[in-house]
Amino acid sequence: MIAASSTALPLETVEPIAAVAAEDWLFVLDNYEYLLAGAVITVALTATSIVLGLLLGFPAGAIELYGGRFSSGVVRKAGVAIRGTPILVIMVFTFFVFPLEWLYVLPASEPFQAAVLALGVRSAAYQSQIFRGALRSIDPGQLEAAQSIGMSKREAIGYVLVPQALRRSVPGFQNEFTIVLKDTSIAFAIGLGELLRHSHDLMTQQTTAALELFVFASLIYFLLTISTNRTLDYVNDRYAIPGEG
Amino acid sequence: MTAQRTDERDNERRRAEHEPLLRIENVWKSFGTEQVFRGIDLEVDRGDVEVLVGPSGSGKSTLLRCVNRLTEIDEGAIYLDGERVTDADANVNELRQQVGMVFQDINLFAHLTARENVTLGLRRVRGFGKSEARDRADRELANVGLSDQVDSYPAQLSGGQKQRVGIARALAMDPKLMLFDEPTSALDPELSNSVLEVMERLVEAGMTMLVVTHEMRFARSAADSITFLEGGQVVERGPPERLFERPERERTREFLESIYG
Ligand SMILES: Nc1ncnc2c1ncn2[C@@H]1O[C@H](COP(=O)(O)OP(=O)(O)OP(=O)(O)O)[C@@H](O)[C@H]1O
Ligand SMILES: [Mg+2]
Query: For the CA atoms of B158, A242, A142, B40, what is the dihedral angle to 10 degrees?
Result: 10
B177 CA to chain A: closest CA distance, Å? 12
Q: Report the relative pairing of strands B225-230 and B75-80 from DSSP bridges.
A: unpaired
Own/partner long-range contacts of A210-215 (Cβ < 8 Å, ≥24 apart): A211/A24, A212/A21, A212/A24, A212/A25, A212/A27, A212/A28, A213/A28, A213/A35
Q: Mean pLDDT across the stretch B33-58?
A: 96
Q: Report the relative pairing of strands B99-102 and B177-181 from DSSP bridges.
A: parallel
In CATH, what number is assigned to the domain containing residue A96? Answer: 1.10.3720.10
Instruction: Please give the helix or strand (H or E) that residue B8 lies within, else none.
Output: helix B2-18
> pLDDT (tens digit, 9 = 90+) per residue, A31-84?
999 999 999 999 999 999 999 999 999 999 999 999 999 999 999 999 999 999
Task: Look at residue B19 and tell me whether its pLDDT is greater than 80.
Answer: yes
How many domains does the structure of chain A reveal? 1
Task: Look at residue A109 and tell me whether its pLDDT is greater than 60.
Answer: yes
End-to-end CA, chain A: 56
Q: Mean pLDDT across the stretch B41-70?
A: 97
Task: Look at residue A231 and tell me whether its pLDDT is greater than 80.
Answer: yes
- Break chain B into its structural domains and give their ranges: 19-260
pLDDT-based confidence at B210, cuts 50/70/90?
very high
Best residue of A139, A142, A148, A169 to probe chain B, by most B CBs closer than 10 Å: A148
pLDDT-based confidence at A11, cuts 50/70/90?
very low
Query: For the CA atoms of A118, A120, A126, A130, what is the dihedral angle to 10 degrees?
Result: 180
Task: Look at residue B3 and tell me whether its pLDDT is greater than 70.
Answer: no
What average pLDDT does chain A have? 89
Tell me, yes or no, whether A3 lies in a domain.
no
Tell me, yes or no, whether A40 lies in a domain.
yes
Distance B19 CA to ligand 2 centre (A): 28
Domain region containing A149: 33-238
What average pLDDT does chain B have? 93
Q: What ipTM was estimated for this complex?
A: 0.90
> pLDDT (tens digit, 9 = 90+) per residue, B189-204?
888 999 999 999 999 9
Q: B173 touching A, CB under 8 A?
A: yes
A132 CA to chain B: closest CA distance, Å? 18
Residue having the nearest C-alpha atom to atom 2 of ligand 1: B31
pLDDT at A181: 95
pLDDT-based confidence at B17, cuts 50/70/90?
low
Q: Mean pLDDT across the stretch B205-211?
A: 97
SS (H, E, C) A104-155: CCCCCCHHHHHHHHHHHHHHHHHHHHHHHHHHHCCCHHHHHHHHHCCCCHHH
Find out whether A146 and A156 touch, Cβ atoms under 8 Å: yes
> pLDDT (tens digit, 9 = 90+) per residue, B64-111?
999 999 999 999 999 999 999 999 999 999 999 999 999 999 999 999
Residue having the nearest C-alpha atom to atom 25 of ligand 1: B56
Task: Look at residue A3 and tell me whether its pLDDT is greater than 80.
Answer: no
Q: Between 3.30.565.10, 3.40.50.300, 3.10.20.30, 3.40.50.10210, what CATH number should domain B19-260 receive? A: 3.40.50.300
- Which candidate, B107, B171, B173, places its Cα nearest to that of B144? B171
Out of A141, A151, A167, closest to residue B107 by CB: A141
Q: Mean pLDDT across the stretch B1-9?
A: 57
Tell me, yes or no, whether A28 lies in a domain.
no
Q: Tell whether ligand 1 has an atom less than 6 A from the beta carbon of residue B225.
A: no
Tell me, yes or no, whether A232 lies in a domain.
yes
Residue having the nearest C-alpha atom to atom 17 of ligand 1: B61
Whole-prediction pTM: 0.86
